A and B are shown apart, each in its own frame.
Chain A
Amino acid sequence: MTTASDEIERQVVEIFASLTQRDPATIGSGDTMEALGVDSLCMVEGIFAIEETFDVSVPFNANDPGAAPVDLSTVGSVVEAVRTLLSQKAA
């Protein structure tokens, strides 16, 4: 059985698989954006896809990606960020 939480991870993986032209099965939650070849411009696209998919607003300035108030460095941390943003939205 697929939980809602797993569904979030599946969708995030799907987004970055599509952006990097990879098979989703080859992407794990520990993979860093750097290792996936996601540069800052690609990340802007990824954030856009996440915002559209989950109807959230992700704080991110391409001038200084490291300064974002949420950790977006790995697939797993992006999934966590989405969970946090969704829970904030529900609250």
Chain B
Amino acid sequence: MRQVVITGAGTINPLGHSVADTKAAMRAGRSAIGPLDIRDVDRLSQKIGAQVTGFDPDARFDRQTLSICDRFSLFALAAAQEAMAQAGLTVDDALAPRAGAVLGNSGGGMTTQDDGFRAVYEDGKSRVHPFTVPRLMGNAPAAQLTMAYGLRGPSFTVSSACASSNHAMGQALSMIRAGMADVMLTGGAEAMLTFGGLKAWEGLRVMSPTGCRPFCATRDGMVQGEGAAIFVFEAEEHARARGAPILARVAGYAMSSDAADIVMPDAQGAAAAMTGALSDAGLSAGDVGYVNAHGTGTAANDRTECAAIRAAFGPAAGDVAISSTKSMHGHLIGAASAVELIACLMALEEGVIAPTAGWRAPDPDCDLDIVTNAARPARVTATLSNAFAFGGMNAVLALTAP
């Protein structure tokens, strides 16, 4: 089976506009959650979130791109620029049919949807922007990447709510392994911090008014974020042949379905995905030094996830460091596990485990080695990144040091 490695990483998210800035914030345990600055925020019941600030699309993109792209596509393009620059990859005529883009996303172009619905329903207008459809369609960010870099191979978008990016990256891994492609741009993009997007989440009554404190006894729900992270997944022999930087090995991947409840998570399904990823990577539980938890900060997720880690890791469960970086960058929904993979890269590359920020008090139901508030130095050679979505769809990715 072909080995797959990561040769480039890029991001724009509430913690920073680059991987370096994101890692710096994670190392510092700095949370980007704060008061939301969006239209009609006064009509929301929960007014906090993790926004990408200081992003100036006009300075980065030409008029045509700005006109055809929703915010989530611009995030994907910005993140891909960084990833492709690091990978030093030139997509020539020979590589083009062997290169594609598979991204995760859940909401589509929410800014575009919000604007369009406001125009026709609230403002009573009879027309919307001519590019409403190409802006809002869920596959738009992946399509923009293919056009930006001339990727002529397999490209599509995966939508599995909060696990979309892990499912997408798993597909990219599987396709390179299977010989369907040599290089895949993968990860995810989400921009759901709109009035309509947040109203929808408000309805479920799982949003926190105070902050995101996963695994903490005082937690009171989730906080939304936005952004993108894009990685260059590459067949190892292809990467080595061109002398590319190798950040990590994408060692294993597994998916499972709870088949139980549309919103309540299930420990058995989550554990099955972790066990499967370990097995696929040829790892034993004791090899894993860090688990980037799904860790949403809801009581249902955190307790179930801890029970699942106990089930999957057995006696090794007490020895593995766990954190949820959603405490800092918020829940990026369809882009969450893409941004969270950066915490796994940081553990492997730099020996630094990102903390669960804002944590206050232990929860007896989350009695594991939760890295809280301050980053922890550790020698890590293997990581898991968990994503457990609404719909009971689970996807876990295992990275190892190259």
Contact = CB atoms under 8 A, between A and B. Distances in A.
Given A48-B203, A61-B220, A62-B205, A41 B264 contact: yes
A17 B219 CA distance: 33
B264 A63 contact: no
Interface string B179-196: 000000000000000000
Nearest to B222: A63
Interface in B176-227: 203-206, 208, 219-221
B300 interface: yes
B221 A44 contact: no
A64 interface: yes
Given A41-B263, A41-B264, A64 B299 contact: yes
A41 B45 CA distance: 19
Contacts of B205: 44, 47, 60-62
A63 B221 contact: yes
B263 A63 contact: no
Contacts of B383: none
Interface residues of A, number: 10
A63 B204 contact: no
Contacts of A63: 206, 208, 219-221, 298-300
Contacts of A57: 45
B392 to A, nearest CB: 13
A41 B300 CA distance: 12
A68 B204 CA distance: 15
Nearest to A43: B205
Contacts of A47: 205
Contacts of A41: 263-264
A60 B221 CA distance: 12
B258 to A, nearest CB: 15
A63 B208 CA distance: 9
Contact of A61 (B203, B221, B264): B221
Interface of A: 41, 44, 47-48, 57, 60-64
Q: Which 4 pairs, one residue from A and one from B, show the smallest C-beta to C-beta distance?
A: A62-B205, A63-B299, A63-B221, A63-B298
